[in-house]
């Protein structure tokens, strides 16, 4: 049964031992949009991110991915549907950019052999060009700056050729210039190539500006879901972060005075 949603979650429960992290949460994620999870530290957004990406298994409830139980999908098949850029990444200092991006083709290989080298090459090249790392494809990772490295990791995920892209705090450790570079690139991937983006962001203003949909969490529950302009209000923010925050408006989108 094909579902019109990418994710269809009902009564999802998760606990670390006795410590309950997610408490019967239900939501859906529509395709073709940028959805951002926000919430205070420890609200469960990282746990939810890991559940959605098969890094954790739910304790209860239904977690449907495109109409199928996520747990029943093989890791390798999932890797052809969704690519994930995790927050923290390491690579050998001497590996070339092109080689690392090429690892993104792994889900399509069997026994280390590629089925179609031409498609591999085309996707790797596209991924490197789109993320603007093509010009240093022969350079070793150890010689790149933080912003360049992050774009390479993004390129590796793009080489997986998936319709869904997960980003876990993709702007952490980067200065503002590279943060914007990554976010603009993310938006371009969504608008131009129709890639569904699901991400966790710490910076609220960036979340408000670049997202089509906000999923606000608090204490293992979802407090609000919807377009930033509709659901993010001063009351919601007070509830989620337990501080008074003031919202303004710019370009028809809310923005936050970080004071």
Partner 1 sequence: MKSTKRKVLSFALTIAGLVLLFLLAVNTGGLKVGFRELLEGLFVSYNENVATIYDLRFPRIFIAMLGGAALAVSGVLLQAVMKNPLADPGIIGISSGASLTAVFMTAFFPSLYFITPMFAFLGGIAACIIVYSLSWKEGLQPLRMILVGVAVNAVFTGLMSAFNSATGSEYSGAASIVNANISLKTWDDVQMLVGYVAAGLILAVLVLRLCNLLALEDRTVRSLGVDVTGARTGVSLIAVMLASISTAVIGTISFLALIVPHIARILVGSDHKVLIPYSAVLGAFVLLLADTVGRVVAAPYEISSSVILSCVGGPFFIFLLRRAQKTYGG
Is residue 111 at the binding interface for partner 1, with CB under 8 A as the rule? yes
In the bound complex, what is the minimum distance in angstroms from residue 67's beta carbon to partner 1?
Answer: 20
Helix (H) or strand (E) holding 85: strand 82-85
> Buried b / exposed e across 17-37, counting CB within 10 Å, b at 16+?
eeeebbeebebebeeebbbbb
CB 211 within 8 A of CB 35: yes
Is residue 172 at the binding interface for partner 1, with CB under 8 A as the rule? no
Is residue 259 at the binding interface for partner 1, with CB under 8 A as the rule? no
- Distance, CA of 207 to CA of 209 (rounded, Å): 6
Among positions 3, 20, 106, 134, the unique one binding partner 1 when judged by CB under 8 A: 106
CB 142 within 8 A of CB 94: yes
Is residue 95 at the binding interface for partner 1, with CB under 8 A as the rule? yes
Toward partner 1, which CB reaches closer, 73 or 231? 73
Is residue 94 at the binding interface for partner 1, with CB under 8 A as the rule? yes
Helix (H) or strand (E) holding 189: helix 176-193
Is residue 103 at the binding interface for partner 1, with CB under 8 A as the rule? yes
Quick note: the x/- pattern for partner 1 over 47-86, rule CB under 8 A, is ------xxx------------------xxxxxxx--xx-x
CB 236 within 8 A of CB 219: no
Is residue 116 at the binding interface for partner 1, with CB under 8 A as the rule? no
Q: Are strands 164-168 and 213-218 parallel, antiparallel or unpaired?
A: unpaired
> Buried b / exposed e across 47-79, counting CB within 10 Å, b at 16+?
bbbbbbbbebebeebebbbbeeebeebeeeebb
Among positions 36, 160, 186, 190, the unique one binding partner 1 when judged by CB under 8 A: 160
In the bound complex, what is the minimum distance in angstroms from residue 105's beta carbon to partner 1?
Answer: 9
Toward partner 1, which CB reaches closer, 52 or 214? 52
Binding site for partner 1 (CB under 8 A): 53-55, 74-80, 83-84, 86, 88-96, 99, 103-104, 106-107, 109, 111-112, 138, 140, 142, 153, 157, 160
């Amino acid at each position: 049964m094909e579902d019109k949603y990418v994710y269809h979650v009902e009564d999802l429960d998760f606990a670390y031992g006795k410590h309950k992290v997610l408490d019967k949460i239900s939501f859906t994620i529509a395709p073709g949009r940028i959805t951002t999870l926000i919430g205070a530290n420890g609200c469960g957004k990282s746990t939810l991110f890991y559940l959605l990406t098969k890094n954790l298994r739910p304790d209860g409830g239904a977690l449907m991915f495109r109409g199928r139980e996520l747990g029943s999908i093989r890791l390798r098949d999932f890797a052809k549907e969704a690519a994930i850029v995790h927050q923290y990444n390491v690579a050998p200092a001497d590996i070339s950019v092109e080689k690392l991006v090429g690892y993104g083709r792994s889900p399509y290989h069997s026994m280390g052999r590629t089925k179609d080298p031409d498609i591999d090459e085309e996707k790797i090249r596209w991924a490197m060009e789109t993320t603007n790392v093509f010009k240093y494809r022969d350079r070793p990772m150890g010689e790149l700056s933080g912003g360049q490295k992050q774009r390479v990791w993004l390129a590796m995920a793009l080489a997986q050729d998936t319709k869904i892209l997960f980003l876990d705090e993709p702007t952490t450790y980067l200065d503002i210039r590279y943060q914007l570079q990554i976010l603009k690139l993310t938006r371009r991937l969504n608008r131009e190539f129709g890639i569904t983006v699901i991400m966790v962001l710490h910076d609220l203003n960036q979340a408000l500006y670049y997202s089509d949909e906000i999923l606000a969490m608090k204490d293992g529950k979802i407090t609000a879901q919807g377009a930033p302009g509709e659901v993010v209000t001063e009351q919601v923010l007070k509830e989620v972060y337990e501080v008074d925050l003031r919202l303004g408006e710019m370009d028809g989108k809310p923005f936050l005075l970080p004071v």
